[in-house]
Structure 1
Amino acid sequence: MKYSLKIITAGAAWLALFASCEHKVKTVSGVDRSKIFVVDESLKPIVDQELYVYGALYKDGHPKVIYAPENNAVNMLFADSARVLLMSREMTAEENKVLKSKNISLIVNCFAIDAIALIVNQASNDTTITVSEIKKMLTGDTKTDKDIVFDNPNSGLVRYLKEFSGTKEFKQKNIYSLKSNKEVVQYVSTHPNAIGITGFSWLNDPEKDYEDAVNKVKIVSVKDDSKPSGQYFLPSQESLALKQYPLTRKLYILNFTGKMGLGMEFAAFIAGDRGQRIILKSGLLPFDIPGREVNIVKKIVQ
């Protein structure tokens, strides 16, 4: 099912939650809140990989993981239901002010650079688009008969697109929100007249339940036409590392526990060498690119 974004408002529910937020030790459904990780669901593919390896290496490395839209994740923090968030933004100045008033400390680690990918059906003739064309498409400043679809209206991806296009709401009738990035891929795979916007990690090594859909879509090359010598680029580790692909976002782990524990340990893991190599293998760009040791053996010919 798809919903028009103009009838869905993200709201400011977290403001009401601020007032009731108390800094105290408690459990949520019997689980220590410091062991509850709330993850923006658009980050699920890469975080799943990290958690799988982390859990295999450390017997106590099994947090309770909740995947939710970005707005919901922040709401859970201020409702005192979780103390570790993984999402594509840091806290705002207003949020930090509230945290400070509650004596809640924060440690932030950036662990990867993700790309926002535009996808179309394999039958589509669209292969390229410029940054200015994307902005006009999102703000309604250009006419198009194509359906534009992306994930949950409360997600970090939608927030990114609003900031990117400079608009507070998407009011066009041809812009729709689905429920997840997976649904975006599946929708575009069966609708030749659709343009999907999704996280790049959903297109690399997909799960079997939507692998066939990924094979029926293609990624559109994007050009930053604000640069005189701009070229069209597909998202890749190379274009991300060289800052050529224009639609990027940083991924963060935010730890509010204020103590050593599962949150701190996982943050150290995901930002460390092993965690960064998992990012590298996934196709995203590690925040701290792991080095490679090369042994050169000189053979003496007699």
Structure 2
Amino acid sequence: MNTLIKIGLGAGLLSLAACSSPPPDNPSHGTISITADESLEPMVESIYKAYEGVYPNTKFNVTFKPEQEAIATMLRDSARLVFSTRELNADEKAVLAREKIKYKSEFIATDGIALIVGRQNPDSLITVPELNDIFQGRITRWEQLKRGRQTGPIVLVFDNNNSSNLSFAIKQFQVTDFNKLKIFTVKSNKQVIEYVRKNPTALGFIGVNWISDGDSPLAAELSKNLRVMGVSDQSDPGSIDDFFQPFQKNLGLKTYPLRRNVYVISREAHSGLGSGLINYIVRDVGGLLIEKSGLWPAKPYNREVFLEKY
């Protein structure tokens, strides 16, 4: 009888232990998959690698994809987090609701779409009304721009058909008829840069963090033989001071017109490694890494300076 009681008690304890087993990851230990829009790759890479350096028992399996594909990867539970330049739409929210998944969306930075041309193109200034006319098919050649000195057809170059950069332009300029546009898509922001370098009539659209980190050898290499265009939201700017480039101060002061928000969206059901990474971004030095990438952090990292009198 005693033996039966002991066996029953042991089985009960094993069952209780199984029910209360800890999750496979936590903020300082474990491996998870995350994904991100490819235009944000330099910033995201700097963040997760820094986190792995602080917590060596963590590992992020990261894939960079066009934004629509990256969000779909998170929705089908092939990634715990997604870095995106937009919030989830109604259909995407419905997918998670059907699965009874409570997601979390955190605004982490302000990003900018950089307009780039090759060094052989003398034009470096453009207005938002002119961009609107380009995307509506009313301006098709460089010499039609008010300050245009380059000649030839304007070729709009984007990284991918499903990219955040193209989606931003379509929404910003309310594009409905693509037949009037000369659009060329490649496979990455890096390939946009390479194409623009070789084609003087190309106008490229990239995420600014690809060329804005002054300490990055890759950013320095990619920036060679490029011009970053200044953009004005005025129809008739009075001076060059009315044009702004997509760099940090102009993103923070909201003077650069082609800016957008960056979010990290999580479907994590427990306080795990994904939550640890988000807290690192919004409450720790993640804001400093975002700043170093050339974007404007939603929550800047506080730096305390102590002055001592000798």
TM range (shorter): 0.7 to 0.9
Task: With the length of structure 1 as denominator, give the TM-score of the two structures.
Answer: 0.82
Please give the alpha-carbon distance, in whole angstroms, between the structure 1 residues aligned to 2:254 and 2:236: 12
SS of the aligned residue for 1:63 comes to strand
SS of the aligned residue for 2:275 comes to helix
Which residue does 1:179 correspond to in 2? 187
**Structure 2 counterpart of 1:293, from 273, 281, 304:** 304
Question: In the alignment, is residue 262 of structure 1 matched against residue 259 of structure 2?
Answer: no
- What is the identity, as a one-letter code, of the residue corresponding to 2:284? D
Gap change, CA 1:189 and 1:110, over 3 Å in 2: same
Question: In the alignment, is residue 162 of structure 1 matched against residue 159 of structure 2?
Answer: no
Asked if structure 2 preserves the Cα contact closer than 8 Å seen for 1:35 and 1:63, the reply is: yes
Q: What does 1:100-111 align with in structure 2 at a 5 Å threshold?
A: 100-111=97-108
Q: What does 1:57-206 align with in structure 2 at a 5 Å threshold?
A: 57-144=54-141, 145-168=153-176, 170-172=178-180, 174-205=182-213
Gap change, CA 1:94 and 1:193, over 3 Å in 2: same
**How far off is 1:131 after superposition?**
0.7
Which residue does 1:17 correspond to in 2? none
Please give the alpha-carbon distance, in whole angstroms, between the structure 2 residues aligned to 1:211 and 1:190: 18
- What is the identity, as a one-letter code, of the residue corresponding to 1:243? K
Question: In the alignment, is residue 36 of structure 1 matched against residue 33 of structure 2?
Answer: yes
Gap change, CA 1:169 and 1:250, over 3 Å in 2: farther
Greater shift, 144-153 or 77-86, is seen at 77-86
Task: With the length of structure 2 as denominator, give the TM-score of the two structures.
Answer: 0.80
Question: In the alignment, is residue 225 of structure 1 matched against residue 222 of structure 2?
Answer: no
Gap change, CA 1:147 and 1:109, over 3 Å in 2: same
Which residue does 1:272 correspond to in 2? 283
Query: Where in structure 1 are there 5+ consecutive unaligned residues?
Result: 1-26, 28-33
Which of structures 1 and 2 has the bigger CA Rg? 2
- What is the identity, as a one-letter code, of the residue corresponding to 1:275? G
Please give the alpha-carbon distance, in whole angstroms, between the structure 1 residues aligned to 2:180 and 2:186: 15
Instruction: Let me know the Cα RMSD of the aligned residues.
Output: 2.4
Deviations 1:123-155, CA, capped at 9 Å, x for gaps: 211111011111221221222212110111111
- What is the identity, as a one-letter code, of the residue corresponding to 1:134? L
Asked if structure 2 preserves the Cα contact closer than 8 Å seen for 1:150 and 1:178, the reply is: yes
Identity %: 33
Aligned length: 268
Greater shift, 68-77 or 121-130, is seen at 68-77
Please give the alpha-carbon distance, in whole angstroms, between the structure 2 residues aligned to 1:112 and 1:257: 21
Deviations 1:99-131, CA, capped at 9 Å, x for gaps: 222201111111111110101111211111011
**How far off is 1:54 after superposition?**
0.6
Please give the alpha-carbon distance, in whole angstroms, between the structure 2 residues aligned to 1:35 and 1:196: 34
Query: Where in structure 2 are there 5+ consecutive unaligned residues?
Result: 1-23, 25-30, 142-152
Gap change, CA 1:111 and 1:154, over 3 Å in 2: same
Deviations 1:269-293, CA, capped at 9 Å, x for gaps: 1222310011112221111112232
- What is the identity, as a one-letter code, of the residue corresponding to 1:56? G
Deviations 1:242-298, CA, capped at 9 Å, x for gaps: 110011111111010121111111111122231001111222111111223222334
Gap change, CA 1:126 and 1:137, over 3 Å in 2: same
Please give the alpha-carbon distance, in whole angstroms, between the structure 2 residues aligned to 1:156 and 1:263: 23
**How far off is 1:83 after superposition?**
2.6
Greater shift, 168-177 or 45-54, is seen at 168-177
- What is the identity, as a one-letter code, of the residue corresponding to 1:161? A
- What is the identity, as a one-letter code, of the residue corresponding to 2:36? V
Asked if structure 2 preserves the Cα contact closer than 8 Å seen for 1:276 and 1:288, the reply is: yes
Deviations 1:8-47, CA, capped at 9 Å, x for gaps: xxxxxxxxxxxxxxxxxxx9xxxxxx81101111110110
